[in-house]
């Protein structure tokens, strides 16, 4: 029995010419609408920090790159203690605070507005797992959750973890993995207290409420109970923040005596662990962004000789589960959109197809239960959930949902013998909803719909899905939500013609951005914005090929799709030139850097969160935590001259030139192990040096946090309020500061 608070991946463990924009023509001959926009904020006399330029260059493949801001990379990283570096980062923060001070009342008003849409004393729908029922809750005003259980047969509530207590006195706190032993007595959990994602694990005896002396430090990934609850399997982190081992810790023994169950020699791979559906096999998976390899070992005897399912083959991904001694395999070995296969444990590499791959159905995963199995996938970009049956896999029971556009999936289904499946559902106008699906009757029972205390009327909003032609003819889907009375709202705000539109995307690693619901988004939409999600290549929204067309030597499709989607929305009258605002984080922050290099005039404001903008510099530095594992996504410029040239052609930091750029807000985390703080710092320094406009450029670095920004639901929401305040301010839609 495992209390799954963590959702970390298992199958593949964690892991010089400028491009000129193509001219885009409107699809009709109508005269462009006249637009009256609010006045932009005037520049102020506050002077921005100016980073020193220090000679530094490097040469690869006969090409020399000058990088005078390399000194912002503290070479003692992950320790950042260079006084000059810290002084510059703090100066940027002071500049951010000085400019945002006048917007503080507006930011606070937005925060109050957003907070009013959140039910403060909220809890998850309880779910049975073995002898107990589990749930978590927020208390009114609390930043963090409490996690509870009670006996299924009846009895008092039992507090498992109080995150608020664990977070007391800390600037940052995040709960990582948490799992209950199969006998229900012990809780293993891990915490991160500075945003570096190097977790520390403790074990709580739930019978006494006391913690055992065992402590596992500097780890990543899940905590898996094995050997009849006498041991834990975990993944230690290397100094370079890579998980290359699966280790076994026997409770009550010194950590120094922990046994290595598997060690990965390829630095580009990462190792993860988990249990099969019947919890009788330990899965040890290793992989990078395109290749997998899996081993199985009996959970009761984890030091036994592992069974290798199939040796790694470049480009072949697979994950496995086991039911009644039979191996089930999800793989892309013979079809790009994956197939489902079976094999005997005696011949684990002999895969026999159960469900073949299909061009029109993207199989994204499967789950095994006692009397049936479930497959999940997407068809035309829309989530699909189907029940299948062991005696007749061709017989299909699809689960139907009421809207034409939505996102849905399996939720918390911890038991092997399930008669009702817990599902999650939402759309751009429908708040998050929890269903139970009755396997026998096919009925959907609504257990909970997200409550919005300040009120929400879905009938005031409309959602649309349009297709926009990219420059190569590919049709890019875009999901849009806006108020039905948008024109009247804009008129009252003094805006004539098409109003502002916020465009969001990610576009990397095959991560689809679903058309889901957001309460904070309403603070833009209710002020007359249209809010759009561009389902660009690089994600797998339309299938695995959609992802492959946005990586390696096709990476620029991602940037072109986003630019062209915005241009297409302008042509269709949703917005106008200079009234598109955009945001993205991490690889989506790289996207922001690329689009403003390509087509800056389209955008009225840009927010780039922890942006991966020094793509070339990072991919050349194999000492950095993620670099070896990222070469399959971006290319290896160290060994491949063509990859070097291609990355250089779009790397946002390298392609900054002297021209006008839109107003921008950039964020970073000093402890971020994924996108290191100096990438946005160098990028902002270079932009300040060469850009030819007077538009505002702000950078905020969280000094005690990492990739995800500040922790705690209210701290995180406050950062969203800052982002929206900046956007509305730069679009001339913020209240004028009161005169002192």
- Is the preceding peptide bond at 557 cis, omega within 30 degrees of 0? no
Residue 140 has pLDDT above 50, yes or no: yes
Q: How far apart are CA 27 and CA 125, in angstroms?
A: 48
Question: Are the C-beta atoms of 669 and 31 separated by less than 8 Å?
Answer: no
What's the whole-number mean pLDDT along residues 321-342? 96
Cβ neighbours for 527, distance < 8 A, ≥ 6 positions apart: 489, 493, 728, 733
Task: Please give the pLDDT value at position 704.
Answer: 79
What's the whole-number mean pLDDT along residues 492-517? 93
Task: Please give the pLDDT value at position 22.
Answer: 25
Summarised one tens digit per residue, pLDDT across range 544-553 is 999 999 999 9
What's the whole-number mean pLDDT along residues 299-315? 96
Residue 34 has pLDDT above 60, yes or no: no
What's the whole-number mean pLDDT along residues 422-432? 96
Residue 588 has pLDDT above 80, yes or no: yes
Lowest mean pLDDT among 7-11, 227-231, 533-537, 622-626: 7-11
Task: Please give the pLDDT value at position 78.
Answer: 87
- Which residue is listed with tokens 């049975």? 128
Task: Please give the pLDDT value at position 24.
Answer: 22
pLDDT interval class at 703 (50, 70, 90): confident
Residue 3 has pLDDT above 60, yes or no: no
Q: What percent of the chain has pLDDT over 70?
A: 94
| Total residue length of the chain | 740
Summarised one tens digit per residue, pLDDT across range 74-89 is 999 989 999 999 999 9
State the DSSP code for 323. E
What would the two tokens of residue 127 be?
A: 């779910």
Question: β-strand 697-702 against 664-669: which pairing, if any?
Answer: parallel
What's the whole-number mean pLDDT along residues 345-370? 96
Q: How far apart are CA 7 and CA 221, in angstroms?
A: 9
SS3 569: helix
Task: Please give the pLDDT value at position 714.
Answer: 86
Decide which of 736 and 183 is more confident: 183
Task: Please give the pLDDT value at position 10.
Answer: 32
- Which residue is listed with tokens 């299924």? 152
The residues that are catalytic are 586, 672, 707
Alpha-carbon dihedral 147, 152, 155, 158, rounded to 10 degrees = -10
Task: Please give the pLDDT value at position 672.
Answer: 82
What's the whole-number mean pLDDT along residues 22-30? 26
Residue spans of the domains in the chain: they are: 57-116+455-730, 360-451
Q: How far apart are CA 634 and CA 645, in angstroms?
A: 12
Question: Are the C-beta atoms of 186 and 229 separated by less than 8 Å?
Answer: yes
Which residues in 489-642 belong to E strands, given as ranges? 501-504, 530-534, 580-585, 603-609
Task: Please give the pLDDT value at position 739.
Answer: 52
Task: Please give the pLDDT value at position 5.
Answer: 34
Residue 31 has pLDDT above 90, yes or no: no
Q: Which is nearest to 300 in space by CA: 225, 204, 214?
A: 225
Provide φ and ψ at 113, rounded to 5°. -65, -45
pLDDT interval class at 43 (50, 70, 90): low
Task: Please give the pLDDT value at position 145.
Answer: 94
Summarised one tens digit per residue, pLDDT across range 155-197 is 999 999 999 999 999 988 999 999 999 999 999 999 999 888 8
Residue 641 has pLDDT above 80, yes or no: yes
Summarised one tens digit per residue, pLDDT across range 552-581 is 999 999 999 999 999 999 999 999 999 999
Give burial (CB, 10 Å; 0-12/13-18/19+) of 117.
buried
SS3 105: helix
Residue 38 has pLDDT above 80, yes or no: no
Residue 460 has pLDDT above 80, yes or no: yes
Task: Please give the pLDDT value at position 709.
Answer: 72
CATH superfamily of 57-116+455-730: Alpha/Beta hydrolase fold, catalytic domain (3.40.50.1820)
Lowest mean pLDDT among 412-416, 570-574, 619-623, 672-676: 672-676
SS3 99: helix
Inter-CA distances, 529 with 221, 468, 483, 634, 698, Å: 39, 19, 8, 34, 23
Q: The whole model's pTM is what?
A: 0.90
Buried/exposed 159-185: b ≥16 CB within 10 Å, e otherwise: ebbbbbebbeeebbbbbbbbbbbbebe
Task: Please give the pLDDT value at position 433.
Answer: 95
Residue 504 has pLDDT above 60, yes or no: yes
Residue 4 has pLDDT above 50, yes or no: no
Lowest mean pLDDT among 13-17, 52-56, 214-218: 13-17
Task: Please give the pLDDT value at position 25.
Answer: 24
Q: What percent of the chain has pLDDT over 90?
A: 83
Phi-psi category of residue 349: left, alpha or beta, with phi > 0 → left and psi -120 to 50 → alpha: alpha
pLDDT interval class at 737 (50, 70, 90): confident
Inter-CA distances, 418 with 6, 126, 373, 545, Å: 21, 15, 10, 34
Task: Please give the pLDDT value at position 40.
Answer: 55
Task: Please give the pLDDT value at position 41.
Answer: 56
Q: How far apart are CA 465 and CA 481, in angstroms?
A: 9
Q: What is the mean pLDDT of the chain?
A: 91
What would the two tokens of residue 476 be?
A: 């890019």
Question: Are the C-beta atoms of 281 and 272 separated by less than 8 Å?
Answer: no
């Amino acid at each position: 029995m495992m209390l799954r608070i963590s959702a970390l991946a298992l199958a593949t463990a964690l892991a010089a010419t400028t491009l000129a924009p193509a001219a885009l023509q409107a699809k009709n001959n109508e005269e462009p609408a006249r637009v009256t926009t609010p006045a932009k904020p005037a520049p102020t006399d506050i002077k921005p920090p100016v980073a020193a330029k220090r000679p530094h260059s490097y040469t690869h493949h006969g090409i020399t790159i000058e990088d005078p801001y390399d000194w912002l990379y503290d070479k003692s990283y992950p320790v950042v203690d260079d006084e000059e570096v810290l002084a510059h980062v703090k100066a940027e923060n002071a500049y951010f605070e000085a400019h945002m001070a006048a917007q503080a009342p507006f930011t606070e008003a937005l925060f109050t507005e957003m907070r009013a849409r959140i039910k403060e004393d909220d809890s998850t729908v309880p779910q049975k797992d073995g002898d107990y029922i589990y749930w978590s809750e927020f208390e009114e005003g609390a930043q963090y959750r409490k996690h509870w259980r009670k006996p299924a047969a009846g009895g008092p509530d039992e507090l498992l973890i109080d995150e608020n207590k664990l977070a007391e006195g800390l600037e940052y706190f995040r709960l990582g993995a948490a799992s209950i032993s199969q006998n229900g007595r012990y809780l293993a959990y891990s915490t991160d207290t500075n945003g570096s994602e190097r977790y520390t694990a403790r074990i709580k005896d739930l019978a006494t409420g006391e913690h055992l002396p065992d402590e596992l430090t500097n780890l990543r990934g899940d905590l898996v109970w094995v050997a009849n609850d006498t041991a834990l399997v975990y993944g230690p982190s290397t100094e370079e923040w890579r998980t290359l081992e699966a280790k076994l810790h026997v409770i009550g023994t010194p950590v120094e005596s922990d046994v290595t169950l598997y060690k990965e020699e390829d630095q580009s791979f990462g190792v993860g662990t988990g249990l099969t559906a019947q919890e009788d096999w330990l899965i040890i998976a290793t992989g990078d962004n395109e290749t997998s390899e899996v081993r199985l070992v009996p959970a009761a005897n984890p030091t036994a000789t592992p069974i290798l399912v199939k040796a790694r083959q470049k480009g072949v991904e697979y994950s496995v589960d086991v039911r009644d001694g039979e191996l089930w395999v999800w793989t892309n070995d013979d079809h790009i959109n994956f197939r489902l296969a079976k094999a005997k444990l005696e011949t684990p590499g002999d895969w026999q197809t159960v469900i073949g791959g299909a061009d029109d159905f993207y199989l994204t995963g499967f789950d095994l239960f006692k009397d049936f199995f479930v497959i999940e996938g997407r068809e035309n970009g829309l989530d699909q959930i189907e029940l299948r049956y062991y005696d007749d896999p061709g017989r299909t029971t699809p689960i139907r949902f009421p809207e034409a556009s939505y996102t849905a999936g399996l939720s918390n289904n911890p038991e092997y013998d399930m008669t009702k499946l817990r599902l999650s559902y939402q759309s751009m106008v429908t708040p998050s909803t929890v269903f139970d699906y009755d396997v026998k009757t096919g009925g959907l029972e609504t257990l909970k719909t997200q409550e919005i205390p300040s009120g929400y009327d879905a009938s005031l909003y409309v959602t649309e899905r349009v297709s926009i032609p990219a420059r190569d003819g590919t049709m890019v889907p875009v999901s849009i939500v806006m108020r039905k009375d948008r024109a009247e709202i804009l008129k009252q705000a003094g805006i004539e013609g098409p109003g502002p539109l916020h465009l969001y995307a990610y576009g990397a690693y095959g991560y689809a951005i679903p058309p889901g619901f957001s309460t904070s988004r309403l603070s833009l939409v209710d002020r007359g914005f249209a809010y759009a999600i561009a389902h660009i290549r690089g994600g797998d929204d339309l299938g695995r090929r959609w992802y492959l067309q946005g990586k390696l030597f096709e990476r620029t499709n991602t940037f072109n799709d986003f630019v062209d989607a915005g241009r297409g929305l302008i042509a269709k009258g949703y917005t106008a030139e200079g009234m598109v605002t955009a945001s993205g984080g991490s690889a989506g922050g790289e996207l922001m850097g690329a689009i403003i290099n390509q087509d800056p005039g389209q955008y009225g404001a840009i927010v780039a969160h922890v942006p991966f903008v020094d793509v070339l510099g990072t991919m050349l530095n194999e000492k950095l935590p993620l670099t070896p594992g990222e070469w399959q996504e971006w290319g290896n410029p160290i060994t491949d001259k063509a990859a070097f040239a291609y990355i250089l052609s779009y790397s946002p930091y390298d392609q900054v030139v002297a021209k006008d750029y839109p107003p921008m807000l950039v964020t970073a985390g000093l402890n971020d192990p994924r996108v290191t703080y100096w990438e946005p710092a160098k990028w902002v320094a270079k932009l300040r040096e060469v850009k030819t406009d007077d538009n505002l450029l702000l950078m905020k670095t969280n000094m005690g946090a990492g990739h995800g920004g500040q922790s705690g639901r209210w701290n995180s929401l406050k950062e969203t309020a800052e982002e929206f305040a900046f956007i509305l301010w730069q679009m001339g839609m913020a209240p004028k500061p009161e005169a002192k």
